[in-house]
Every structure is written in structure tokens, then in C-alpha cells.
Structure 1
Amino acid sequence: MSYRRHRPARNWGARLHEITWFGLRAVVLENELLRVTVLADKGGDVAEFLDKRRDMDFVWLAPDGIRNPRDVTGGASDDVAAFLDHYEGGWQEVLPNGGLPSTYRGAALAQHGEVAGLPWDVEIVTDDPGEVAVRLSVRSRRMPLRVTKTFRLVAGRPELLVDEELTNESGVAVEVMWGHHIVFGAPFLRPGHRIRLPEEVQADAGLTVVPDYGEPSDIHYLTGFGRDGWYEITDPADGLGLRVDWDASVLRHLWLWRELGASRDHPWWGRAYVVGLEPFAGYPTEGLTEAVRNGSALTLQPHETRSLWLRASVIQEEGN
């Protein structure tokens, strides 16, 4: 982890802390309204997105908790287990393969592989009472890719700002699936929660209301977003929710995954009641080879860098 020497501690305004959490390097970004914990040693995952005013965490943590991906004792090391054995819930960067294991131009890529399981370098960019920002970076190991993402909190705003750059470090064009695996669950998610989407996005009415526990699992791929994509997921009882905005010129699809407790076998054992709302370049979950075949993968030209932005904001609907 890289940081400014002798950085003074601060417990007011925007602030950040470098910690070890469940044996992993992590960075906590905090202001008066939000606390966001990022696992530097595990994919740069967002493992906490806490609205401090209500003690409400919007990200789901899996029943088995946070596990170090370097700890492989007791589990298989196959291309599916590489992700699932250490999946803590939360919010992952998915690159360069989405969904099932896939082989691309001789590179064997694991499920949702490979950057979600790697340790990322960390640099503190801004550390002032008005704003804090940290930049994470990593190189993939089986494709010539480097990705950097900057997490930013501004004092007094219940919003996480994320800015990224993805670079093809080779002299040949490559194709990738690139996405953000954002999953909602307890304590926030309950049956009847509403999902709002732009008018131009075609979605059946049944997809905009979170079903009851025990309904079948499914996944849907939503398209038709303009340049700026967005969705909101809210509790109609009190109007509390989260809005996610992103650059839909890069991530042109939204994966809507619902695991509602009906899966009684591995890996869920009936313990997961979650909804994933995941902006993605590429679909479906059959992996990169299929996304290349259907033309939905993102192409990076030799030495090209693509930029991406996302915003996640706590919202309160009027009248609640």
C-alpha cells in the first residue's frame, strides 16, 4: 500500500483509514453520512456501503463471511471455486470474463475471472476534510490488461464516486467482458422493494418488484440505456434506496440476477436472498467466448485506454 508519510489522523469531515480486516488490507472512506470499506487485498471489493444515519448497509455479505483468496485450504481450486469459495457478497469488479469459465485465445479464464481475486495496489490521492480519494490498480495475469479505479467521497454527500481506466498494454486488439457485480441483500433487501429504470429500457413489470422468498432463481439482460445509465432500488415503506449511475456507452447492459432462496444445493444452500443489478459490457453468463461470438464484448484496440465512471448514491423518495 502506498501512502503519504506521517499522514495525520482525522475523525471529522471526510476521512480515511487503512486497516486490516479479516486478515486483508482494506481502506475505509468515510464522511458524515457514509462509510465505505474497500478490500485492497481482494479485488478492490466494496464490502461495506453503510448509511450512517440509519445504520443501513446496502451491500449483502454472504453467510460464510469474508475469506482471503490466498487461503485455499478445504476447497477445490477449479475455475468455478476460484470465485465462489471466496465470494463474500458486496460489489466486485469483473474483468475480463463474466460468468462461466471460458477460454479466450488460449487464456483459460475462471468464473468472473480474474481481477476479483487479485490483490490491488493502493495510492492515497486526496486526504482533506472536504474530500478523500484512493486509487487502486492491478494488472491481470492472463491477458495484457491494467485497470485503475479511484474511489472518492466528498464531505456532506451520501454518494460514492468511482472513476476508472482500463488499458490494453499489448500491440494487438483484445476483447473483454467488463462489469460491476453489485448485489443487494440483508439488511436492506426485502420482498416488495421497487426497481426503477429509464423509460427507454424495456423490462417486464415483474422485474421491477422484488419477489417473495422461495421464488425461482433467474437472470435477465436489460438493454436500451442511453449514454448515461441508471437504476434505483427502494423500499416503498420508507422510501430509502440506492441509485446507481454509470457510463452506459461502455457498460451497455444491465444484468438483473435474482437468487431468492430456492436454490437448496451448492453454493447457496437456501441461504441467499439477493438481487444483483450489474452494469456490464458483454452478456450472457456463458463467458467471454460467447460474448465475443454474439458481438457484445468490449473491444480494446492496441494500447487503447477506455475510461468509465460510476456513482452510487443513497436516496430518499419524497413523501416518506
Structure 2
Amino acid sequence: MNVHRPQRNYGCRIHDQGTYLGMRTIVLENDLVRVSYLLDKGADLFEFQYKPAGLDYVWLSENGVQNPNAYLPTSTDLISTFIDYYPGGWQEVFPNGGPTSAYAVTQFGQHGEVAHMRWDYTIVTDSVDCIAVTFSVRTKKVPFHLSRTVTLERQSPALTIQETLTNLSRVPLQFMWGQHVAFGKPFLEPGCRIVLPDSVEVLTETTDKDKPAAGRIARGRRHAWPLAESAGGGTVDLSVTPEPQTASDVVYLHGFGERGWYKVENERLGAGLHLEWDASVMPYVWY
């Protein structure tokens, strides 16, 4: 923290002097958006507010943000560690994703290491017209260094993110890398529209014959977005968010080409968001 850094209450600005529930935070904002990160909990994004409407796009769980230093999980289950501290929002998933997995002689828990670790930060740019902060972390179980630079410009609601992954060892290493993004109320509600490129396919996993199929759609098949064949023989429109208590459909979306993107639109609120990324690096979306 640089106490001699110029302070201002207009244009682009960075707040790195505060804490939230005992954890260091960094807040980036301009006239349109306010974005908050938890440095001591994975550099999670836990606020993305569109200020003119007072609308936060990020979903927070009922438990909200949890300080990992204030709660000791009562289960040794490797999946529960992620869930117990999960606030919603946006996490970095690395060096593995999904349920528990092993690599060489190393055992990983749900969604890897970095979502639970303290990250360092460096303020790269701090001006009225543009701000940029680089977050960085070094994994413990495998030798990687991960950095994330976020940039916000004046009078723009867009947050630009650039990441660099470095293998610190002398041998090739395998990894799984992704972004765990969750949007929710008050922005997300039944009837919201999810827009994807026409080229996208819906991929489903096969199911155990002894267990009922999860969700609404037929498993072990490919479906053309957005209409998927239902388990009962009809069709399900995956582009419309369903009513509460509807069975969840956990599927993979593929076929984005080099540049991936999707949009989520709430017509009632006149609000939406657009996310795009390098699909040559991250070719799948988990829906």
C-alpha cells in the first residue's frame, strides 16, 4: 500500500486501504461501475455494481463472504473445503477444476488452490482516465506463477482482464484452468435471456444406469444451442433462465471458435452483461 499515492473522488480511482470482514480488499471504480476484490481470499471478485442503476450483477450465496481464517471446516471432504468458503462471485480455478483430482503424487481438492490463497498486488496505472492493478499468486502444490491485470477506463463500464501463466519448473506440467463466474439476483431472474453464437453445441455427460439423470435434458448426447432434447422426448430452451426449483442442467458449451462470448439480458430491467474471452485457450463454458 502506498499512502503517498494521490487520492481523488472523481474519474477512475483505486481504494486499497480498507478491509472487509478482516480481509484486504481492492476496489476499482469510475463514474459507471464499482468492482471489488478480496485479496486474502483468492482475489475473488465479489462486487460488480453498475452505479447509475445501483445494480450489482454478482451472485452472493446466502452465507455471503467468508473469511477463511475465521472458520474451520468440520469435514475432511476435499469438495466441502471449496463449498464452505464459497461466497458466489467470481473465482479463478487453477491448477485443476471440478471435483477432486490427482496429478503425479499430488492430490487436489475442488477447483484447485488459488481460490483459497492470499494474492499479492501491484498498482500499474493510477490516473483519472485509467486504472490498472496486477494480482499475482504462486501455487504451492505445483510450481506455477499466475498473474491477472485488471484495467478500468473512464466513462466505460467494461472491465478488461489479461492473465499470464508461467511454469516455474524445468519440465512440462499439466493443468486445468478456468473462471468460475456466477451471476444472480437482483439482476438474474426467471425469463432472462442467454445469447450465444449460433455455432455453439451443448455437450452432456453420460449417466450411470443405476442413477436417475440429473436436470431436464437427455444425457450423453450433443444438442444444437439453444434447443436441447429433453429426457422425456420434448425440447428444452436453455437460453431462457427457468423458474426457481427447476432441476439444474449441468452441461458444457463448445464451438466458440477463437473468440468466445456470451450475453445475459434482463428485458424487464433493461440491463445486460457481455463476457468475452480467448476461446483458443479456454474453449469450453460450464453451464
What TM-score, normalized by structure 1, do the two folds share? 0.77
Q: Which residue of 1 aligns with 2:126?
A: 127
Residue 239 of structure 1 is matched in structure 2 by 270
2:258 to 227, 238, 241: 227
Counterpart of 1:104 in structure 2 is 103
Report deviation, 1:74.
5.4
Name the amino acid aligned to 1:237. R
Tell me how far 1:176 sits from its aligned partner. Answer: 1.0
Q: 2:248 aligns with which of 217, 232, 245?
A: 217
CA RMSD of aligned residues (A): 1.2
TM-superposed deviation, 1:173? 1.1
- Following TM superposition, by how much is the alpha carbon of 1:75 offset from its aligned partner in structure 2, in angstroms? 3.2
Secondary structure at 2:66 match in 1: coil
How much has 1:239 moved relative to structure 2?
3.3
Where in structure 2 are the equivalents of 1:1-320 lying within 5 Å?
Answer: 3-18=1-16, 19-73=18-72, 75-202=74-201, 203-205=225-227, 206-256=237-287
Contact 1:16 1:28 in 2 (8 A): yes
After superposition, the C-alpha distances for 1:197-228 in whole angstroms (9 at most, x for unaligned) are 01111323321110111101221101001111
| Residue 234 to residue 5, structure 1, CA distance change in 2 (3 Å) | same
In 2 relative to 1, CA 74–166 (structure 1 residues): closer, same or farther, beyond 3 Å?
Answer: closer
- With CA pairs under 8 Å and 6+ residues apart, which has the higher RCO, 1 or 2? 1
Residue 69 (structure 1) shift: 1.8
- Residue 160 of structure 1 deviates from its aligned partner by 0.6
Is the 1:4–1:124 contact (alpha carbons within 8 Å) kept by the matching residues of 2?
no
Is the Cα contact below 8 Å between 2:73 and 2:84 reproduced in 1?
Answer: no
Larger Rg: 2
Residues 138-190 of structure 1, C-alpha deviation per residue, up to 9 Å, x if partnerless?
A: 01111111100011110000011100001111111111111110101111110
Kindly provide the amino acid, as one letter, of the partner of residue 232 in structure 1.
Answer: K
* CA gap 1:74/1:103 in 2 versus in 1, 3 angstroms: closer
Paired residues of 1:43 and 1:115 also in contact (CA < 8 A): yes
Alignment length (residue pairs): 254
**Contact 1:75 / 1:81 at 8 angstroms: preserved in 2?**
no
Structure 1 runs (4+) greater than 6 angstroms displaced = none
* Cα contact 2:41–2:116 (8 A) shared by 1: yes
Whole-angstrom CA distance in 2 between matches of 1:69 and 1:218: 30
Segments of 5+ residues of structure 2 without an aligned counterpart are 202-224, 228-236
- Residues 120 and 136 of structure 2 are in contact (CA less than 8 Å); yes or no, is this contact kept in structure 1? yes
Residue aligning to 1:291: none
Counterpart Cα distance in 2 of 1:116 and 1:201 = 29
Unaligned segments of structure 1, at least 5 residues:
257-320
* Structure 1 residues 133 and 77, CA gap change in structure 2 (3 angstroms): farther
CA distance in 1: counterparts of 2:270 and 2:261, whole angstroms? 17
Q: Of Structure 1 and Structure 2, which has the larger fraction of its residues in strand?
A: 1
